[in-house]
Every structure is written in C-alpha cells, then in structure tokens.
Amino acid sequence: MTEPGTLILIMAIAVLAPLLAYRVARWVPVPLVIFEIGLGIVVGPDVLGWAEQDQFIEGLSDLGLTMLIFLAGYEIDFAAVRGDTLRRSLGAWLVALAVGLGIAFALSGGEVTRSFIIGTALTSTALGTVLPVLRDSGDLRGPFGTVVLTFGAVGEFGPIIAMALLLSGRAPGRSAALLLVFAAVTAVAVRLALRPRPAWFSGVITETLHSSGQFAVRYVMFVLAAMLGLAHVFGLDTLLGAFAAGVVSRLVLVGAAPHSSGEVMGRIEAMGFGFLVPVFFVVTGIDFDLSALLDDGRPLALLPAFLLLFLMVRGGPLYCLAPPGWPRRDRAALALHGSTCLPLVVAITTIGLDDEVIGAGEAAALVGAAMLSVLVFPLLALRLRAPGRDRAPTQPASAEGGSETW
C-alpha cells in the first residue's frame, strides 16, 4: 500500500481499537494496546499484506515512542517517590539487572553483546502502557498507584541508562562520562524549572490557553525538542531525553501554572494518545516478524520462556522488595504490573537486529512475549486488586523526617 494509504489504514485501526476495547470490556478489560498491535499484525506483511513501513511512517512511529516515554516521565511526582520507596525500587531493578544478565550469559553461551541485549530487555517496565490501566482502574492517584509509578519509573529509566552504557557501541568509560555530563545538564534544567516563574509567564499560559497561541503546549514541545537534541549531541538514546523532558515539563507547569497544568497536559496527552502513540503501537504490529516466529520451532518455544523470565527476573525482586506490610495480593499485583513490558523491548531488540547480534526469530520471541505480558499481566493484576482496593497500608513518618504514603 502507498504511504498515504498506509497512514489512513493505521489511523483507521487507531479508531477501531478503542471501539473493540470498549465492547470487550463488558466481559474482560483488555488493554487497548493489544488491539492496536494485533490489528497491526493482521494488516502487516505476514498476514494480509495491506501495510508496510516506509521512512515517513517510521518517523511517525519514532515520535510516538518518544511521546510515550515523555508522558511516562511527566507522570512521575518525585515529591511522592523519594525515601524508602525509591531505594526499594532502585534495589529491585539492580537485582533484576544482575539476574537478567546472568541468565542471558547462560542462554547465549557467554556472548557479551547478545547477553546485554537479552539481559537488559528482561528488566524493563512499560510504564507508559501500565499508566492507562491504573488510570482506568482508579488506582493511579492512590497509594498503590504511587508505588507502581515509582517502581515502574525505575524500570523505564534504568534500561534506558543501561542501553546508553552497554549498547551504544562506545567504550563503557566514555559512555559513562557522556551520561554524567547529560545528567549534570539535566540537573541544571531541573534546578531552573524549580525556580519561581515570573508573573508574566503564568499570565501568558492562562491568556493563551484557549487561543491559537497555546503558549504552554508550545513550551512543552520546545522542552521536549531541546532535551532530545541534547541527548543526540551526547550520542545518547533519544528516549533518555524524552524521559528527562517529561520530568522537567512537569516541574515547570506545576510550579508556574498549577491550576492550568492539568488542562495543558490534557492537550499534550490528546496529541500523544490520540495520534502519535497509536501509530507507534500499530506500526509495532506491522513490523512484527510473525514468519520468523512461526517458521522455526525454537522461537515459538522461546516465547513462553521469555514471558516467564519477564515475570521471574523483573517481577521477583518487585515482590520481595515491595513496601513492608503489604499483603500478598498487592505484592503480586505490583510484580505483575512491573513485569509488563513492550516499548523498550522493541527498542532494545531493534538495536540487536541492527547490530546483527540476535536473530530475527529470537527478537520476534522477545517482542511476542512482551506483547503477551501487556495482555496477561495487567489483567491478572486487576483481578488480584479487585477484591479490595487501597489495602496497602500507610507508612508512618519516614526516617528522613517526612511522612511517606505507600
């Protein structure tokens, strides 16, 4: 199909997917992304052959992934994730990375780069995919949602850092130095974002909110472009810049226009979830190498193995390091949400394919298992939480002197 025809088909799927999700929800709440990816596979080259990716569609898909990571970064309220919760989430991810790399070395026969690809993929959390599930279930703003956001943010941010250090093709020392410089510049941006905005800045946001000026929306897009450009200059993955841009944008908007920030981000989300993010997920389905998964018995056998490894490597440490006093159901739900992955698995396997260190079948098995994680794990987590929400206890005053809510 020609380029305009493929885009029309992708947007038709984007319209059809929420209708299907709405109809199916009366029986079982299937995440929207499953319909987007599934229909993408159906119209892709390996089934109906109606759609193929080209440079223009690939560019839109990349923007969709960037927006997904940006929105994930924006959702993180660092005032709510400091202290013991943050320490536990960092510990859980580091344990997952160590276990994941160890298993990957064993599976790959000691091939270093291949082990880094598989091991890093096993540690990610699709926070941008989990967020809509938490929002729709009413858990996003509660104690349970705060903890899932914290552990999920580290599961989103940690693999991006690992990609910059392990998969950039540069010497680890040079990559670490560039990463530190980027972190320093980002820290300066965060510090500037925390400074009080002048009165005129807030005034312009309010005055142009319902006009064609849309100053706040344009400002957020400028921050996103600037952080993406900064990551590119340092030779780092642009997803790192997108996540940092989300953090900085939240600090600026909440500080400068607290009463308007929700409406501003509603418009950014409309741009993302209404257009760019669905393109990314549909194109993920179109690009999925179904023939590589089915032509050989090994990739198909690896798919359930990788799905189990996602739960063991990522979910196991989450279950063990959940806040003290949590009941088993909430620990298990946290582990399931945290083991849900996809966007970063797609990004990491793409690097592996481009560098020719993993095969198409292995990549298809990883991505296929990630797709199943998006379908299965959130549904199981919702069922575990359904009997009694907000059971997670409220932690007493933390050792740092503040009160911290789980």
**Tokens read off for 299:** 């990739």
Q: What is the mean pLDDT of the chain?
A: 84
The pLDDT of residue 336: 95
Average pLDDT of the residues in 377-400: 61
The pLDDT of residue 1: 56
Q: How many CA atoms lie within 13 A of 147 on its CB side?
A: 29
The pLDDT of residue 395: 45
40-82 confidence digits (pLDDT tens): 999 999 899 998 778 889 899 989 989 988 988 887 776 666 6
Chain centre distance of CA 163:
14
Is the confidence at residue 401, as pLDDT, over 50? no
The pLDDT of residue 396: 37
Query: pLDDT confidence of 133, banded at 50, 70, 90?
Result: confident
CA distance linking residue 246 with residue 90, whole number of Å: 20
**Tokens read off for 104:** 């990957």
Q: In sequence order, what DSSP letters do the residues of 318-343 get, joined into one string? A: HHHTSPTT--HHHHHHHHHHHH---H
The pLDDT of residue 304: 94
CA distance linking residue 207 with residue 111, whole number of Å: 58
More confident residue, 369 or 111: 369
User: Is 384 in contact with 121 (CB distance < 8 Å)?
Assistant: no
Architecture of domain 64-385: Up-down Bundle (1.20)
Distance, first Cα to last Cα, the chain:
50
CA distance linking residue 403 with residue 406, whole number of Å: 10
Query: pLDDT confidence of 402, banded at 50, 70, 90?
Result: very low
Is the confidence at residue 251, as pLDDT, over 60? yes
User: Is 153 in contact with 81 (CB distance < 8 Å)?
Assistant: yes
300-355 confidence digits (pLDDT tens): 899 999 999 999 999 999 999 999 989 999 999 999 999 999 888 988 888 888 88
CA distance linking residue 367 with residue 349, whole number of Å: 8
State which amino acid sits at residue 130.
V
Q: Which of 22-31, 61-70, 117-126, 241-250 has the lowest mean pLDDT?
A: 22-31
Is the confidence at residue 201, as pLDDT, over 60? yes
**Tokens read off for 245:** 């841009």
- Determine how many CB atoms are found less than 10 A away from the CB of residue 89: 28
CA distance linking residue 50 with residue 67, whole number of Å: 26
> Which of these, 132, 164, 121, 153, lies nearest to 347 by C-alpha position?
121
Instruction: Locate the domains of the chain by residue range.
Output: 64-385
